[in-house]
Amino acid sequence: MTLDRAVLAFAGVMVLLSVVLTVYVSPVWMWFTVFIGLNLLQSAFTGFCPAATVFRWLGVKAGTAFG
């Protein structure tokens, strides 16, 4: 798995988790979904993604977007 796919998979899991928490725990968890969306948006423009940094540190091989 490349770094790009790991970041996309992680973002997808976090979005689904935040939706489940919003539905079953509290509507306040919707802010977590907003945070994830804003992080995805800023990484599209800046190329910086904290999750990519962590995955790179864990040894996931580089992809094309977060090389």
What pLDDT does residue 66 have?
73
Per-residue model confidence as pLDDT tens digits over 7-59: 999 999 999 999 999 999 999 999 999 999 999 999 999 989 999 999 999 99
Residue 64 covered by a domain? no
Q: Return the pLDDT at 67.
A: 64
**67: in domain:** no
Helix (H, G, I), strand (E, B) or coil at 1: coil
Q: What's the CA gap between 51 and 36, in Å, rounded?
A: 11
> How far is the C-alpha of 42 from the C-alpha of 22, rounded, in Å?
23
Give dist(CA 11, CA 48) in Å, integer. 14
Q: Copy the structure tokens of residue 12.
A: 């997808």
Q: How many domains does the chain have?
A: 1
37 in a structural domain: yes
Query: What whole-number distance in Å separates Cα of residue 29 and Cα of residue 39?
Result: 16
Q: 23 lies in which domain range?
A: 3-57
**pLDDT in the model for residue 32:** 95
Q: Write down the pLDDT at residue 64.
A: 83
